[in-house]
């Protein structure tokens, strides 16, 4: 009996110790594509979230506690992402989540987070379908909608003097939404879309879809793809004799594509050399994050790590303003810390922002990805950056408003 009592007491002491450790940290979740079609993106984007957490903790943390980032892999799959969100909510007890990347995964995860009253902020999901969610104001984005990107790509295709552009797109909310907006815009400006072909992820070959897309010799093919599948599509198109140009959505930006199988080096440029693409941009970007990010994680042309940084920052600032870490408190304070009015605070000014909030002052966080002012829909305003592949490197050309 005495031995049993000793074990019970020891168990209680261990539990109290674990609880005490947990009480010193505040957890936020992260839904990232570490495997699957967006695997080349996941590590780079989660790096932006990690950078924000590190800087916040170095400057004193949130409400006097250290911030802890709990990362779970979505596999770039709605089913896996939904399960990962459930684990973050039910096992890790987070009240806010940064993610997911794929729009379809974000929509699936929201079916878990909305009823649990957990804030979900995606740094990369651009589908126009997301603002239509019945979300009770628990779903936000720090990235601009494809309603803008599709319009800019349509206009860009006209400016490049393309009269016929076919589209191959990933068959999910992101792919279909962007393909539809592009088609509507391009055709309204006098262009023709001979084919708009959906594809399923993770196939060994896309020769059938590629043949349909390139039939009729379009001037260009617009790939609304992810890197793993998109690289296959480029190679198979060229192998089949396609000699036209390529246009790329944000899902094909970065070193997962160029440099990549279709553009290995400046000495031997491939078929995508000189191709143009688009990527969401929230406006003026603070370049210091790129230098700090490169110093820790290595330079990257993959988009949206700055948006992940901003998502962590606004969540943490909302907690600080509320003096509370519940999902409802975070939701109710996000716009107060991110939108005008209030004293503007910038990159590297966590200490200043926290001090102002403690003093009862209002702040307006100016994001590193651009202006992070949340609309009633949870979206942010902004523009689109046009980029080009030059000597197998991604080079920004200009940023335009939507």
Per-domain boundaries in the chain: 24-144+287-365, 146-284+383-401
Inter-helix orientation angle 173-188/146-159, to 10° = 40
Q: b/e map of 379-399 (b: 16 or more CB within 10 Å)?
A: bbbbbbbbbebeebebeeeeb
Q: Which residues pair with 96 in a beta bridge?
A: 119
Mean pLDDT computed over 145-149: 90
Instruction: Tell me, yes or no, if the two domains 24-144+287-365 and 146-284+383-401 fold the same way.
Output: yes
- What is the spatial distance between Cα 94 and Cα 28, in angstroms, rounded to a whole number? 5
CA distance 158 to 233: 23
H/E stretch holding 198: strand 196-199
Considering the domain delimited by 146-284+383-401, tell me its CATH architecture: 3-Layer(aba) Sandwich (3.40)
Instruction: Please state which of the four CATH numbers 2.102.10.10, 3.40.33.10, 3.30.70.360, 3.40.50.2300 is assigned to the domain occupying 24-144+287-365.
Output: 3.40.50.2300
Cβ count near 362 (within 10 Å): 14
More confident residue, 255 or 345: 345
Q: Mean pLDDT across the stretch 357-382?
A: 94
- pTM summary value: 0.89
Q: Whole-number mean pLDDT of the chain?
A: 91
Q: What would the two tokens of residue 57 be?
A: 């903790």
- For residue 282, the model assigns a pLDDT of 66
Name which of 224, 135, 134 is nearest 172 in CA terms. Answer: 224
- How sure is the predictor about 12, in pLDDT bands with cuts at 50, 70 and 90? very low
Give me the pLDDT at residue 397, please. 93
Per-position b or e across 296-308, b if 16+ CB within 10 A of its CB: ebeebbbbbbbbb
Least confident of 76-80, 89-93, 287-291, 309-313: 287-291
Question: What is the band of 272 on the pLDDT scale with cuts at 50, 70, 90?
Answer: very high
């Amino acid at each position: 009996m005495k031995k049993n009592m000793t074990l019970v007491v020891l168990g209680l002491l261990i539990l109290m110790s674990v609880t005490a450790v947990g009480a010193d940290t505040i957890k936020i979740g992260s839904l990232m594509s570490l495997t699957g079609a967006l695997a080349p993106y996941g590590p780079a984007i989660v790096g932006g979230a990690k950078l924000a957490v590190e800087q916040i903790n170095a400057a004193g943390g949130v409400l006097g506690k250290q911030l802890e980032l709990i990362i779970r892999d979505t596999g770039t799959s709605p089913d896996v992402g939904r399960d990962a969100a459930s684990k973050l909510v039910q096992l890790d007890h987070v009240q806010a989540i940064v993610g997911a990347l794929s729009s379809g995964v974000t929509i699936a995860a929201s079916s878990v987070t909305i009823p649990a009253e957990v804030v979900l902020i995606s740094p990369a999901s651009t589908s126009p379908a997301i603002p239509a969610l019945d979300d009770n104001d628990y779903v936000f984005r720090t990235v601009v909608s494809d309603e803008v990107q599709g319009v800019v790509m349509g206009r860009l295709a006209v400016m490049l003097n393309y009269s016929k552009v076919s589209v191959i797109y990933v068959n999910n909310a992101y792919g279909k939404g962007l393909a539809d907006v592009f088609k509507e815009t391009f055709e309204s400006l006098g262009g023709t879309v001979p084919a708009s072909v959906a594809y399923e992820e993770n196939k060994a070959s896309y020769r059938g879809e590629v043949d349909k897309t390139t039939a009729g010799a379009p001037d260009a093919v617009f790939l609304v793809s992810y890197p793993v599948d998109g690289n296959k599509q480029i190679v198979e198109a060229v192998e089949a004799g396609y000699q036209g140009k390529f246009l790329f959505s944000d899902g094909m930006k970065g070193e997962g594509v160029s440099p990549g199988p279709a553009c290995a080096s400046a000495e031997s440029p491939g078929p995508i050399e000189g191709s143009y693409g688009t990527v969401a941009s929230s406006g003026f970007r603070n370049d210091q994050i790129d230098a700090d990010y490169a110093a820790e994680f290595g330079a990257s042309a993959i988009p949206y790590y700055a948006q992940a940084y901003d998502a962590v920052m606004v969540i943490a600032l909302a907690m600080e303003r509320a003096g509370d870490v519940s999902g409802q408190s975070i939701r109710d304070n996000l716009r107060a810390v991110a939108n005008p009015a209030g004293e503007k605070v910038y990159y590297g000014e966590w200490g200043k922002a926290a001090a102002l909030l403690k003093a009862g002052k209002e702040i307006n966080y100016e994001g590193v990805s651009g202006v992070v002012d949340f609309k009633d829909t949870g979206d942010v305003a902004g523009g689109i950056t046009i980029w080009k592949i030059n000597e197998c490197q991604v080079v920004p050309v200009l940023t335009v408003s939507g």
